[in-house]
């Protein structure tokens, strides 16, 4: 008997959430009836995060508030454990380039070793967002550049406050 997966996670650090991330969430929602954006605590991230976990969750919630069937939740620890807690059967990740693929394939292989039932789904980045990353957005904002075409207004405002002189 086939099992239909209805709930998927879209995990990431979202430091901060960008229009590229939102595109992946929208596309995941077209495939799955329920999507949870899983905001990772990311304790091991080099140099830490620009925004706290609660700030990243709040920005993602505000940026995604109009998408039905999508919720945002923080998590720490193993993604497979969070997937079990949330009763999610798949992980959806966006891929921009071959370097993304190599990293995400490694993560998918590890997740498979930990839970063979957790599917990994990859969606190719929209050509509109293939160049976009949170680190690029942070760098532009840190130099006072305009990031309004890359992120929702709530994020642009938070970045402006964070990098104000």
Q: Is 135 a catalytic residue?
A: no
- The pair of three-digit structure tokens given for residue 86, joined into one six-digit string: 């949330």
- Please pick, among 27, 34, 56, 134, the residue that the annotation labels catalytic: 134
| H-assigned helices in 10-97 | 19-31, 53-63, 79-86
0.85 exceeded by pTM:
yes
pLDDT band at residue 165 under the 50/70/90 scheme: low
pLDDT at residue number 2? 65
- Please pick, among 45, 52, 54, 84, the residue that the annotation labels catalytic: 45
Residue pLDDT, tens place only, 50-81: 999 999 999 999 999 999 999 999 999 999 99
For CA atoms 137, 26, 74, 99, give the dihedral sign.
negative
pLDDT at position 142 over 70: yes
Q: Residue 65 CB: number of other CB atoms within 10 A?
A: 11
pLDDT band at residue 1 under the 50/70/90 scheme: low
Distance, CA of 1 to chain centre: 32
Q: Is 84 a catalytic residue?
A: no
pLDDT at position 146 over 70: yes
Q: Is 161 a catalytic residue?
A: no
What mean pLDDT comes out for the span 8-31?
97
What mean pLDDT comes out for the span 91-106?
90
Give the Cα separation of 126 and 158 in Å (integer).
25
Give the Cα separation of 129 and 165 in Å (integer).
29
pLDDT at residue number 135? 94
Report domain extents, the chain: 7-162
pLDDT at position 22 over 60: yes
- Yes or no: say if 59 and 155 are a contact pair by the CB < 8 Å rule: yes
Give the Cα separation of 118 and 78 in Å (integer).
13
What mean pLDDT comes out for the span 122-151?
94
What mean pLDDT comes out for the span 134-159?
97
- Please pick, among 7, 62, 73, 96, the residue that the annotation labels catalytic: 96
**The architecture CATH gives domain 7-162:** 3-Layer(aba) Sandwich (3.40)
Give the Cα separation of 62 and 114 in Å (integer).
33
Give the Cα separation of 127 and 31 in Å (integer).
20
């Amino acid at each position: 008997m086939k099992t239909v997966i209805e709930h998927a996670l879209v995990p990431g650090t979202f430091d901060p959430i960008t229009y590229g991330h939102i595109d992946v969430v929208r596309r995941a929602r077209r495939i799955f009836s329920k999507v949870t954006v899983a905001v990772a605590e990311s304790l091991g991230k080099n140099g830490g995060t620009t925004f706290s976990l609660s700030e990243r969750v709040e920005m993602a919630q505000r940026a995604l508030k109009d998408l039905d069937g999508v919720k945002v939740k923080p998590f720490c620890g193993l993604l497979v454990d969070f997937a079990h807690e949330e009763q999610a059967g798949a992980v959806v990740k966006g891929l921009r380039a071959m370097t993304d693929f190599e990293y995400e394939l490694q993560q998918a292989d590890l997740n498979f070793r930990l839970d063979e039932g957790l599917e990994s789904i990859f969606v190719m980045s929209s050509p509109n967002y293939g160049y976009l990353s949170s680190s690029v957005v942070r760098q532009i904002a840190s130099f006072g550049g305009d990031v309004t075409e890359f992120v929702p207004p709530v994020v642009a405002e938070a970045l402006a406050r964070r990098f104000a002189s």
